[in-house]
Structure 1
Amino acid sequence: MIKRLWALLGKSSKKPSNPKVFEKVPEHVAIIMDGNGRWAKTRGLPRTAGHHSGMKAVKRITMAADKLGIKYLTLYAFSTENWTRPKDEVDFLMKLPQQFIEIELDELIANNVQVRMMGHKEKLPAHTISPLEEAIVKTANNTGLVLNFALNYGSRKEMLEAVKDIASDVSRGELAIDEIDEKLMASRLHTSGMPDPDLLIRTSGELRLSNFMMWQLAYSELWFTDVYWPAFTEEHFHEAIHEYQRRVRRYGGL
């Protein structure tokens, strides 16, 4: 029974494949990029070294997703709970978006990638949010892969804000209670206008959602791997996509 559950969850224990054919590619892939600190620890390096290497993995997997024709890639970069980490680590993490944009923006533009961000901007320092906003503006007309960073994001806060927004409309008489449905709720979330993820990938061996897109992931396929995010390669990504292709999505039906 345990082995069967493990298999259903998509826990990877085999070597990554090197697939060549992708007949059914997910439209939207979401990734919880986990294990940077543990990757660094196994090498006797500071946690910040793991985060820096994790940034390289972001480019690697973005390009891999683009090559496969995936339309949306959402990356969990920093959660609302991550503020509880040591200040020096948080300060380092807040510098990474600027570094990534400065290094990669020209190539993202050349590859027709559109940058987006979802999350709560109020606590983010200017040196974090400004480069992202610049990238969003400069890539707004790109029509290829949408690279969506979840930064200072928390699903519970997102849903609470959506509920308050809807309740406010009801209290003003602008919305009737009978008009509230799943479509309306989805339109008030940070992913409004985007399809729900078809596939969620989480690295590092953890088996939980960690307050990530809990509404949007209701019917997503889940795939877990022990590989730490800095070591996550294009081959590992292909393995996850192939596992997705083998599954039958019934959405509660037969």
Structure 2
Amino acid sequence: MSWIKEGELNFLERIAANILKAGPMPKHVAFIMDGNRRFARKKNVDRQEGHMQGFNKLAETLRWCKHLDIQEVTVYAFSIENFKRTKDEVDGLMELARQKFLRLLDEMDNLKKHEVCVRVLGDLNMLPLDLQQLIAKAVVSTKHHNKCFLNVCFAYTSRYEITNAVREMAWGVEKGLIKPSDVSELLLSECLYSYNSPNPDLLIRTSGEVRLSDFLLWQTSHSCIVFQSVLWPEYTFWNLCEAIIQYQLNHKSIQKARDLYQEQQSLQQLEADRACVAEQHQGNGKPADSKRRQEALEQYSACREERVHDFLQALKHKRDLFFSDLSSQAVST
């Protein structure tokens, strides 16, 4: 099945969509697409067929999101923990991924038509080289599209992502791009795989499990989280509507928590900058008056922001180069 499923909503779905869109709508929705294997057992088919039906449901869900003006979707496609499954199942999932990314490359005109940008978040080095190359080619080929965004978390866990972000900051310090005092929660957020995306407004997990399974732990600290009992291949438009209603009912409290967190982050950064300025002037004495103290603080903050900006640009270049090199290998083979 195609990644982008064409087709309009039916009459009742259009009515429901218009009603929902009158309220606050999530712009970024994340899915833990759980229940493929249980669906296979329920239907007495093999696991691979369950995973195939799960992908088909993703294509259908992306169509619903498009009609609901949900601009960004992030899905948990393959956890690092999934490598612990049987070799046959892991090999089957890798082969399914090969088929689907080949199909995606064949559909490039359709992706361009809808301006869909595909990103893959995770450690691609854990995957077979040919799959890495296919994924990189898909990412590079769609990176300039900017209307819809699909983030596929593959060979991913959140703790691994956070650990990698810490390594990236350590690399920046080692290269002299940033100082240890520049490290902060805000900078760590910018070093995550998801640095291009706003945090999800809504996280949905299917199959009745009520845990996050190491998915977007950092990014969903102020998101609406909805657990639904339906198995992923059986997910419906109405299940999605139910989750969006939960988001709308909790929107004010979520937004208040986000605003408060941003204020706290700004205050923490200001206090950190003041502490650094005070430390710099310990040996020479502090500035004589409040005006000079303020000037010193503003100068330090401007220098820090420039350092951080240059570091993030260098980090982006390093990541872009990784994908472009892999993509060019795919072209040449």
With the shorter chain as reference, the TM-score category is 0.7 to 0.9
For the pair 1:206 / 2:203, whether they are aligned, the reply is: no
Q: Which residue of 1 aligns with 2:98?
A: 98
Q: Deviating runs (4+, > 4 A) in structure 1?
A: none
SS in 2 for 1:25: coil
Between the aligned partners of 2:206 and 2:141, the Cα distance in structure 1 is 31
For the pair 1:51 / 2:57, whether they are aligned, the reply is: no
Over 3 Å counting, the alpha-carbon distance change for 1:52 and 1:174 in structure 2 is: same
TM-score where L is the length of structure 1: 0.86
1:217 to 195, 215, 220: 220
For the pair 1:179 / 2:182, whether they are aligned, the reply is: yes
SS in 2 for 1:251: helix
Q: Which residue of 2 aligns with 1:121?
A: 124
Between the aligned partners of 2:113 and 2:238, the Cα distance in structure 1 is 24
For the pair 1:160 / 2:166, whether they are aligned, the reply is: no
Q: Which residue of 2 aligns with 1:29?
A: 29
| TM-superposed deviation, 1:172 | 4.9
Between the aligned partners of 1:182 and 1:193, the Cα distance in structure 2 is 16
For the pair 1:111 / 2:114, whether they are aligned, the reply is: yes
Letter in 1 for 2:222: Y
| TM-superposed deviation, 1:64 | 1.3
Q: Which residue of 1 aligns with 2:257?
A: 251
**Higher relative contact order (Cα pairs below 8 Å, separated by 6+ residues):** 1
| TM-superposed deviation, 1:215 | 0.8
Identity of aligned residues (%): 36
| TM-superposed deviation, 1:190 | 0.3
Work out whether residues 32 and 76 of structure 1, in 8 Å CA contact, stay in contact via their aligned partners in 2.
yes
Unaligned runs of 5+ residues in structure 2 are: 1-11, 261-333
Work out whether residues 125 and 132 of structure 2, in 8 Å CA contact, stay in contact via their aligned partners in 1.
no
Q: Higher helix share goes to which structure?
A: 2
Work out whether residues 27 and 198 of structure 1, in 8 Å CA contact, stay in contact via their aligned partners in 2.
yes
Between the aligned partners of 1:173 and 1:131, the Cα distance in structure 2 is 34
Q: Which residue of 2 aligns with 1:5?
A: none
Deviates more, 1:243-252 or 1:213-222: 243-252
Provide, for residues 61-100 of structure 1, a one-character-per-residue CA deviation record: whole Å limited to 9, x for no partner. Answer: 1111122221211100001100000111111111222322
Between the aligned partners of 2:169 and 2:135, the Cα distance in structure 1 is 28
Unaligned runs of 5+ residues in structure 1 are: 1-16
Q: Which residue of 2 aligns with 1:228?
A: 231
Between the aligned partners of 1:136 and 1:63, the Cα distance in structure 2 is 20
For the pair 1:147 / 2:150, whether they are aligned, the reply is: yes
Deviates more, 1:234-243 or 1:81-90: 234-243
Work out whether residues 114 and 143 of structure 1, in 8 Å CA contact, stay in contact via their aligned partners in 2.
yes
Work out whether residues 97 and 131 of structure 1, in 8 Å CA contact, stay in contact via their aligned partners in 2.
no
Q: Which residue of 1 aligns with 2:75?
A: 75
For the pair 1:196 / 2:195, whether they are aligned, the reply is: no
Provide, for residues 2-23 of structure 1, a one-character-per-residue CA deviation record: whole Å limited to 9, x for no partner. Answer: xxxxxxxxxxxxxxx9523213
Letter in 2 for 1:185: L
Work out whether residues 95 and 127 of structure 1, in 8 Å CA contact, stay in contact via their aligned partners in 2.
no
Provide, for residues 108-146 of structure 1, a one-character-per-residue CA deviation record: whole Å limited to 9, x for no partner. Answer: 333221111110011111342333222222222222210
Larger Rg: 2
Letter in 2 for 1:48: Q
Letter in 1 for 2:231: Y
Between the aligned partners of 2:50 and 2:202, the Cα distance in structure 1 is 25
SS in 2 for 1:206: coil
Work out whether residues 69 and 145 of structure 1, in 8 Å CA contact, stay in contact via their aligned partners in 2.
no
Between the aligned partners of 2:138 and 2:176, the Cα distance in structure 1 is 38
